[in-house]
């Protein structure tokens, strides 16, 4: 546990499909500085340069030495080699991410999938604390997933587990960025919300639809409710498969709150099997938009203490 570690500071980096957050974090998870960047770039070099720039800002702002850097990136990770194997939303493919960052930053580097590190933060200290079996779904530009089973973080045989966004919930559904049709991500994301708004003649971003929904706009609320139902369909599949105590939902779309989560809970109650449906709680993240950054910091803190 991080609370038992000697005092030290690390940098946690959450790299999303469009945005980056780097934070200087101590062993009690206090954040001393935050560096924000837009992660979108024209190529791999642009994205890597943006990451390095943000980490350097966070390191320069640190009061004292930084022991390591932890990264959560939206990629399938080869844990043995520290490779970013593939990602849907950024030009990072077959990149030796851990070694490359360690060389450029001159610090020990630990890397994992962005949703996996968010699960780590929520499991250690947040909404899934004291749970032996828990799932996390992040809903933003796309969908990420994290999983704890039997009291251990699950990464799979090659570090590619918990890609919940790419389960098929409608064989004839819309095209997903991964190339398949009808994935959960194709129905539940900020991108999907904007697409559905355009189908109704509303040229709005997902964030604008969310704002209208909070203001009581009937059409926007209907879109959000339908997305919540789709999310509930995916969660019900996971509940039936894994029997978790809690499913934690995070990411940018969580700004919708119960407008999204209540339809999801209702769909889980309809679709999931007893006794799993009677046990599971579906709750928002404790750390909100900072779950990924804090989880990356926990990854680094635990890594240097190992």
Give residue 141's pLDDT: 80
In whole angstroms, how far apart are CA 73 and each of 158, 178, 228? 16, 17, 25
Superfamily of domain covering 130-285: ATPase, nucleotide binding domain (3.30.420.40)
Tell me which H or E stretch contains 135.
strand 134-139
Give residue 184's pLDDT: 96
Task: Report the DSSP beta bridge partners of residue 5.
Answer: none
Q: Contact at 8 Å (CB) between 35 and 58?
A: yes
Rounded distance between C-alpha atoms, residue 203 and residue 41, angstroms: 24
- Domains 2-117+290-305 and 130-285 fall in the same CATH topology: yes
Q: Which two tokens stand for residue 18?
A: 């469009």
3-state secondary structure of 74: coil
Q: Say how far residue 41 (Cα) sits from the centre of its chain.
A: 20
Provide the residue ranges of all domains of the chain, joining segments of one domain with +: 2-117+290-305, 130-285
CATH code for residues 2-117+290-305 = 3.30.420.40
Q: Which two tokens stand for residue 89?
A: 């939303």
Task: Report the DSSP beta bridge partners of residue 136.
Answer: 146, 248
pLDDT in tens, the chain (306 residues): 444 444 579 999 999 877 899 999 999 999 999 999 885 556 888 889 999 999 999 999 887 789 999 999 988 888 888 888 877 778 888 889 999 999 999 999 999 999 999 999 999 999 999 999 999 999 988 899 999 999 999 998 877 889 999 999 999 999 998 899 999 999 998 889 999 999 888 899 888 998 999 999 999 999 999 999 999 999 999 999 999 999 999 988 778 899 999 999 999 999 999 999 999 999 999 999 899 999 999 999 999 998
Residue 35 phi/psi, 5-degree rounding, is -120, 120
Q: Which two tokens stand for residue 219?
A: 């059409």
Give residue 207's pLDDT: 85
């Amino acid at each position: 546990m991080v609370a038992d570690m000697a005092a030290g500071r690390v940098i946690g980096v959450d790299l999303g499909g469009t945005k980056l957050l780097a934070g200087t974090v101590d062993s009690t998870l206090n954040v001393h500085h935050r560096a924000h960047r837009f992660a979108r770039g024209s190529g791999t070099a642009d994205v890597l340069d943006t990451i390095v720039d943000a980490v350097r800002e966070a390191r320069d702002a640190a009061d004292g030495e930084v022991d390591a850097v932890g990264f959560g990136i939206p990629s399938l990770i080869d844990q043995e080699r520290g490779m970013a194997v593939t990602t849907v939303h950024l030009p990072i493919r077959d990149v030796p991410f851990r070694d490359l960052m360690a060389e450029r930053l001159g610090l020990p580097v630990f890397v994992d999938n962005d949703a996996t590190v968010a699960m780590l933060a929520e499991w250690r200290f947040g909404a899934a604390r004291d749970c032996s079996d828990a799932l996390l779904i992040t809903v933003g530009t796309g969908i990420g997933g994290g999983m704890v089973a039997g009291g251990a973080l699950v990464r799979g045989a090659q570090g590619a587990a918990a890609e919940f966004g790419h389960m098929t919930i409608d064989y004839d559904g819309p095209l997903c960025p991964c190339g398949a049709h009808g994935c959960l991500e194709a129905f539940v994301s900020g991108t999907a919300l904007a697409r559905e708004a355009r189908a109704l003649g509303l040229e709005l971003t997902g964030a604008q639809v969310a704002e209208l929904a909070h203001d009581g706009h009937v059409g926007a609320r209907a879109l959000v409710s339908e997305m919540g139902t789709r999310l509930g369909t995916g969660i019900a599949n996971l509940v039936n498969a894994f029997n978790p105590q809690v499913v934690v939902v995070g990411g940018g779309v969580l700004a919708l709150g119960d407008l999204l989560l209540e339809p999801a809970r209702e769909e889980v109650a309809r679709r999931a099997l007893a006794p799993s449906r009677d046990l599971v709680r579906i709750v928002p993240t404790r750390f909100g938009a900072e779950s990924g950054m804090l989880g990356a910091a926990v990854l680094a803190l635990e890594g240097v203490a190992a």
